[in-house]
Structure 1
Amino acid sequence: MIRLHVPQPLSAGAAVLPTLDQSRYLTQVMRLKAGDDLLVFNGVDGEWRCSIAEALKKGVILRAGEQVRPRGAVPDVHLLIAVVKKAALEFAVEKATELGAARIGLVTTRRTQGDRVRMDRLEAIAVESAEQTGRLDVPGIDLPVKLEVVLDGWDAGRRLMFCDETGGAPAMQALAAAGAGPWAILIGPEGGFAPEERDRLRALPFTTAVSLGPRVLRADTAATAALTLWQAAVGDWER
């Protein structure tokens, strides 16, 4: 069944107004008509079965029926990724959403050489990925911030999985030893971290430096691999 993310509150009998683009998708692409059902979520109220109450030229009106799923717990893992080229960054956001990241933060480092970031495009990719994968929330995406600023304001209660291309403990082993709880995963730029950045990261008490294997991975591949390892070791895959 079609799934749609909306920002509006959801409750039994509530009228829901999709955007014009969403309305066109429902009626012109998916060929839905009055009386047809779809699933709707907003990241707060769970998932609801809705029906098309009216199909107008300027959009459709949905009517919420019953709640299908309440919102459950979200894996408490954030992805921090250095700004990289457009295609790689979009791929990383898409896969991070699919793999359950609760939040995605963009960072700039000494060697960052990425393109200008289109936040609206990244947010649209996250919404579409959430709709397709059955998530009941959409990860927030933070504007780019300098790595040193992020570390200066770090919450020491959240462990940081530092994916170090120069080497570290095997990821699965290190994660299992550190245990579950709030985590973040840090992925660097194409040129890797500068020596002074690496030294600071390794000295922080909340950091776990890990290796993602013997091969040097692209940033988008590394983000996907790291989230996969985290989910397998301490995430929600066993549920």
Structure 2
Amino acid sequence: MRANFRMQRLFIDTPLSAGRALEATSDHFNYLVNVLRMTEGDEVLVFNGHDGEWRARLLLPTRKKLLLQPIEQTRPQSPLPDLHYLFAPLKVGRLDYLVQKAVEMGAGLLQPVMTQHVQGKITSLERLQANVVEAAEQCGVLAVPQVTAPVKLKDLLDTWPADRRIIFCDEGEESQNPLPILNEIKERKLALLIGPEGGFSEEERTLLRSLAFVTAIPLGPRILRADTAAVAALALVQATIGDWR
């Protein structure tokens, strides 16, 4: 069932069921009542990542209290996509963009990875999760991915499950065409690894290429910024061996 983009969508971190009125947070109150100028009886769409999407009516029992009353489920809950997105942190503005686009492109889990040439850092997982929620609200996503704590690349690889293939974008790959390589991948459990703005070190490239569960792909003849490479690689994976098929 297609998402309804004509109605305002809100992520609500509480169970949803028909008729059970929920008290809105102060942020939601301010946004709906003060910013959007919504009034008693207006309707929004709410979701929590577990109970599907619901049409909810606004109730204003007092001037400073807002209730959201779910009326009917408009879409059933969908499962999280099974694509893991592994990324070296970028500088703050571009990192926010990267996280939002990963959600839009169907990542089911976001894992920051600390590499030797990484230039950014994770100062707040809450900020990144807020970007995930915002992207989900805007793009009709029901299953909300989680952002996990940063981990060093070697530690990640040392404990990686052999049944999930990692695809990593290697600027040193001799070929310029990733399609033949991707079309040879048979596994359905996948992860995509995007390096930092400075690229992977030679030591990291050697390590990655030595592992049986890792596949290197190029991203064409042009040099791409890390955030651009992330979107390009996600599109390639989804179109060839992901959920666009």
Q: Structures share a fold, TM > 0.5? A: yes
1:100 pairs with 2:106: yes
- Conserved 8 A contact 2:84-2:192: yes
1:118 pairs with 2:124: yes
- Conserved 8 A contact 2:80-2:145: no
User: Offset of 1:118 from its aligned partner?
Assistant: 2.4
Residue 189 of structure 2 aligns with an amino acid whose one-letter code is P
For residues 154 and 56 of structure 1, the distance between their equivalents in structure 2, rounded to whole angstroms, comes to 53
Identify if the C-alpha distance between structure 1 residues 56 and 159 changes in structure 2 by more than 3 Å, giving closer, same or farther. Answer: farther
Deviates more, 1:110-119 or 1:208-217: 110-119
For residues 61 and 137 of structure 1, the distance between their equivalents in structure 2, rounded to whole angstroms, comes to 24
User: Offset of 1:72 from its aligned partner?
Assistant: 2.0
List aligned pairs for 1:83-232, cutoff 5 A.
83-167=89-173, 170-179=177-186, 181-232=188-239
1:85-129 per-position Cα deviation (integer Å, ceiling 9, x unaligned): 112211100111111110111011111121452222211111111
Residue 183 of structure 1 aligns with an amino acid whose one-letter code is L
For residues 5 and 237 of structure 1, the distance between their equivalents in structure 2, rounded to whole angstroms, comes to 25
For residues 202 and 178 of structure 2, the distance between their equivalents in structure 1, rounded to whole angstroms, comes to 21
For residues 160 and 115 of structure 1, the distance between their equivalents in structure 2, rounded to whole angstroms, comes to 22
Identify if the C-alpha distance between structure 1 residues 171 and 23 changes in structure 2 by more than 3 Å, giving closer, same or farther. Answer: farther
For residues 82 and 69 of structure 1, the distance between their equivalents in structure 2, rounded to whole angstroms, comes to 34
1:52-108 per-position Cα deviation (integer Å, ceiling 9, x unaligned): 122644441111111111112333111111122112211100111111110111011
- Conserved 8 A contact 1:16-1:61: yes
The alignment of Structure 1 onto Structure 2 pairs a total of residues equal to 238
Deviates more, 1:11-20 or 1:22-31: 11-20
- Conserved 8 A contact 1:92-1:220: yes
- Conserved 8 A contact 2:79-2:143: no
Deviates more, 1:107-116 or 1:217-226: 107-116
For residues 167 and 63 of structure 2, the distance between their equivalents in structure 1, rounded to whole angstroms, comes to 50
TM-score, length-scaled by structure 1: 0.94
1:32 pairs with 2:19: no
TM-score, length-scaled by structure 2: 0.92
For residues 134 and 242 of structure 2, the distance between their equivalents in structure 1, rounded to whole angstroms, comes to 23
Residue 175 of structure 1 aligns with an amino acid whose one-letter code is L
Residue 66 of structure 1 aligns with an amino acid whose one-letter code is E
Identify if the C-alpha distance between structure 1 residues 8 and 32 changes in structure 2 by more than 3 Å, giving closer, same or farther. Answer: same
User: Offset of 1:180 from its aligned partner?
Assistant: 5.4
For residues 8 and 72 of structure 1, the distance between their equivalents in structure 2, rounded to whole angstroms, comes to 17
Counterpart of 1:42 in structure 2 is 48
Give identity over the alignment, percent: 48
- Conserved 8 A contact 1:180-1:235: no
Q: Classify the secondary structure of the residue corresponding to 1:93.
A: helix
For residues 57 and 235 of structure 1, the distance between their equivalents in structure 2, rounded to whole angstroms, comes to 49
Q: Classify the secondary structure of the residue corresponding to 2:148.
A: strand
Identify if the C-alpha distance between structure 1 residues 52 and 165 changes in structure 2 by more than 3 Å, giving closer, same or farther. Answer: same
For residues 168 and 24 of structure 1, the distance between their equivalents in structure 2, rounded to whole angstroms, comes to 54
Residue 132 of structure 2 aligns with an amino acid whose one-letter code is A
Counterpart of 2:4 in structure 1 is none
For residues 236 and 150 of structure 2, the distance between their equivalents in structure 1, rounded to whole angstroms, comes to 25
**Structure 2: any 5+ residue segments left out of the alignment?**
1-6
